[in-house]
Chain A
Amino acid sequence: MAGEKLFKGGEFLVVDALPEEIFTPEDFNKEQQMIAKSAEEFGIGEIAAKSDDLVELNPELVRSLLKKAGDLGFLGADMPEIYGGSELDKVSSSLVTEWISQGITSFAVAYGAHTGIGSLPIALFGTPEQKKKYVPKLASGEMVGAFALTEPGHGTDALTSDTTAVLSEDGKYYTVNGQKQFITNAGFADLFITFAQVDGEKFSSFIVERNWDGISLDEEEKKMGVHGTSTRAVIFQDVKVPVENVLGEVGRGHIVALNTLSIGRYKISPLAVGSAKLLISEGVKYAKGRVQFGRPICEFGLIKHKIAEMVIKTYVNESMVYRSAGLLDMTVEGIDPSSEEAGEKTGEALRKYALECSINKVFGSEMLDYIVDECVQIMGGYGYIQDNLVESAYRDSRINRIWEGTNEINRLLIVDMMMKAAKKGELPLVEAIKKVTGELLSLRPQMGEEKEVLENERRMVSMTKKIGLIAAGAATQKYMEKLAGQQELVALIADIVIQIFAMESVLLRTLKKIQKDGKEKSEIHIAATRVYINDVFPKIDLLARQIFGAISEGEELKTQLMALKKFARYTPINCIDLRREIADSIIPTASYHLTKR
């Protein structure tokens, strides 16, 4: 990676990065492009080709497809080579996630649960013996993994447990009792990564093999979507787990859970981008074929609007995903994967970007929900009728806002992590807030003729950061330690933070592309960037008003609103024309075209 800079987690809030400092899809190297293509080819040839058989749960087929993916090295993407993994960089493994399932959610979910939460904890936190024993089989698909954290009484509140683990008198094994709820892949998994309370208080992680005595499964759940996946309760009754199968340290199960979830959260985002690209194709193809009033509906402005919005949001999300992947790759650089503490160190490095991971999770899941919804709308009544990809995608997508930490909890976490980093001195938030407040008097907002392309947008992103800082600053000042108790406020701040990352990622990506390919070859990228930022910017103003309105009144409120007015000034542009241009550019090919393939 050439000029990219290793920013700290959350640093985007206080530093305006330069285009050349971030990683973008235009920076994919040859190998990364080939990996994407090979995943796509496998997905088209093996997964999409069997989509009819994957609509309902077909455990043998899913297992055989996982095995095939394992033979080609896809399952081991995030696992170390010395244990049979393919040890890809995070950019490549995100590309695999994006391309391999071709919109076939039942495979995507089985694949994601197996490779991510079902395998990674061992690759990261396992002892050398555990790694030797399990990782090669997980990477090849000989064994399928599952992650059993949720319990009937512990959903979001997952870091304590009603499941108990009691050490035997001879100190050789733990006896585990309890029930886990909604476990993906449970029906055909060979291995569960699970969690239980030792001595009542030590939340700990264990590797449990399916064929051990005392493990049973409840019936398959009847779900709203992802019908081709297995979701069952797992019941542990006096299961004897050898002490060798404690994962990580006793009492430190939360480390295993949080790190795994962090990567799981991030991976929702490339998955969403992959699905979005396919759905865009479906939607556009339909809009080209469907004639009403004597014209294909893709010629109507309101349908063009939908098409353009889908493309824009996908482009933005894609920019966020690979910017984050670039950061993750840079941060693990220099860790020797064959060393014993490699897993632990990797986990530690990744933890620093938990904020970015949560942002990706929330944005990706909500972006995809938007797209499935608009795709159904484009198809009208036909979109509501079963047996087409769009109808099932609409139902399938919904789960992404619930698992891997609900979007509510992720929003809360985003602000919590930000504040904690500030407190620990890792993120100079307080200094930045002071600086913005100091600038206020002298700030003379300019908005006018652009001398450089995207100059106004660049300014808007910079102003959004300032708005975010003064709003977060004011809220913290008012509630101090008790801010977390004001969830509605926290979520408003989180929304600004998410948008800062989104807006800046798309802006910098496009600027970097212009540097590389010139303006002419980046026209649609520029249009997408302008529409997105011009659309979101006034919403930031609104979010900030809601924050100030909730925390201040009288003179104080007046002063805050005056400051806000300075930062939030902008002149609207003609987004309608830009959207038409974007839609018109994709209609001929009916295929997402903002990333070179």
Chain B
Amino acid sequence: MDIIVCVKRVPMTQEVDLEIDDSGKDIKKDALAYVVNDWDNYAIEESVLLKEKLDGTVTVITVGDEDDEDVLRRALAMGADKAIRIEPGELELDGFLISNILAQVIKGLEYDLVLTGVQADDDNFGMVGIMLAERLGLAHSAVVTGFEAEGSEATINVELEGGLDEVSKIKLPALLSIQTGINEPRYVSIMGIRKAGKKELNVVKVEDIGLSDEELVRQTIIEEYFLPPETEGAEMIEGDPSNIAEAILRILKEKGVSV
């Protein structure tokens, strides 16, 4: 089975006080550490597991600059076979344009399955997967938590609202947006890193993939970022866990919650 996995490198923003940059249209990213988007990591693992079971190849692909190659190399170290980076140059990107670019490149490749993460940790739009499926004319399923291939079909599990689990069949080739927890991503080993160094990592310039200038235009523009205004009425409870628990209980009772 030949699998293509679309991945993105994202800044780590947990426990960080984000600051808006001078343009007001982005956050300051200089001091942030970068990682592979968590959802994509599960997608990579799933593809490598499938390859180990069914043979075939795994190709990872990203739209991004040289620093973004880190996540491609990481995927190669986990077991992917090939990597492609599409260099966007000065192009301003949004999900629409990224899916357009990815579709154009993927069209020229052999595949039975395309995987993306459900969403990216940085902007949480969750649109590249579904738009890419549309452009490639593929069946699509999102929030996939299980995958079992059977010939030209696959049985998939999809997580629904409220914790429901849906089991369905999907025709291949298909595009699946992978949910975290579908597997347990492996750690990158030193042996893997060594092998990754010898694998193919191709860089393609966006102007060379055959899209016209009109097609290389984003459809959404971020106007402004702002931090939510500070509101009144929050009470910070301090102390050890048992004091905190007591205080919460007291407040709930005061507010009329029967506990």
Contacts and interface: CB of A to CB of B under 8 A. Distances in A.
Contacts of B32: 589
A72 B78 CA distance: 11
Interface string B13-28: 0011111000000001
Interface string A32-74: 0111011001100110000000000000000000000001111
Given A31-B197, A589-B32, A38 B189 contact: yes
B33 A597 contact: yes
B77 interface: yes
Interface in A15-35: 30-31, 33-35
Contacts of A77: 190
A37 B188 contact: yes
A41 B188 contact: yes
Interface string B160-202: 0000000000000000000000000001111101101100000
Nearest to B19: A588
A521 B28 CA distance: 13
B15 A88 contact: no
Task: Name B's interface SS.
Answer: loop
A205 to B, nearest CB: 29
Nearest to B67: A596
B73 interface: yes
Contact of B187 (A31, A45, A76, A586): A45
B2 interface: no
A543 B89 CA distance: 55
Interface in B43-78: 69-70, 73-74, 77
Nearest to A85: B190
Interface in B203-236: 236
Nearest to B76: A34
A295 interface: no
B33 A73 contact: no
A589 to B, nearest CB: 5
B34 interface: yes
Question: Looking at B15, B17, B74, B193, which has the most chain A CB atoms within 10 Å of its CB?
Answer: B193
Given A34-B74, A285-B15, A591 B190 contact: no
Nearest to A587: B17
B259 interface: no
A288 B197 CA distance: 41
Contacts of B77: 34, 38
Contacts of B188: 34, 37-38, 41, 72
A260 to B, nearest CB: 22
A74 B34 contact: no
A565 interface: no
Given A31-B197, A34-B73, A34-B77, A589 B16 contact: yes
A72 B33 CA distance: 23
B109 interface: no
B254 to A, nearest CB: 24
Interface in A280-336: 285, 288, 291
Contacts of B190: 35, 38, 72-74, 76-77, 86, 88
Contact of B193 (A31, A585, A587, A588): A31
A591 B197 contact: no
A363 B69 CA distance: 36
Contact of A72 (B28, B34, B187): B187
Interface string A197-209: 0000000000000
Contacts, number: 73
B31 interface: yes
A42 B193 CA distance: 14
A497 interface: no
A590 interface: yes
A30 B191 contact: no
A478 interface: no
A308 to B, nearest CB: 15
A434 interface: no
B31 A38 contact: no
A593 interface: yes
A585 B15 contact: no
Contacts of A589: 16-17, 31-32
B31 A73 contact: no
A30 B70 CA distance: 8
A37 B12 CA distance: 13
Nearest to A43: B187
Contacts of A587: 17
B189 A71 contact: yes
Nearest to A92: B190
A298 to B, nearest CB: 11
Contacts of B16: 588-591
Given A588-B19, A591-B16, A72 B73 contact: no
B33 A591 contact: yes
B191 A42 contact: no
Contacts of B18: 588
Nearest to B78: A38
A386 to B, nearest CB: 12
A292 B191 CA distance: 50
Contacts of B33: 591, 597
A593 B70 contact: no
Contacts of A521: 30
A585 B191 contact: no
A589 B73 CA distance: 26
A74 B191 CA distance: 10
A41 B193 contact: no
Nearest to B77: A34
5 contacts: A34-B70, A34-B196, A73-B190, A291-B236, A591-B33
* Closest 5 pairs between A and B when the two form their complex, measured CB to CB: A73-B190, A38-B188, A72-B189, A588-B17, A593-B31
Interface of A: 30-31, 33-35, 37-38, 41-42, 45-46, 71-74, 76-77, 86, 88, 285, 288, 291, 521, 585-591, 593, 597
Given A37-B70, A521-B30, 20 more contacts: A31-B193, A33-B70, A34-B77, A34-B193, A35-B193, A37-B74, A38-B188, A38-B189, A41-B187, A42-B187, A72-B190, A73-B191, A77-B190, A291-B236, A585-B31, A588-B16, A590-B15, A591-B16, A591-B31, A597-B34
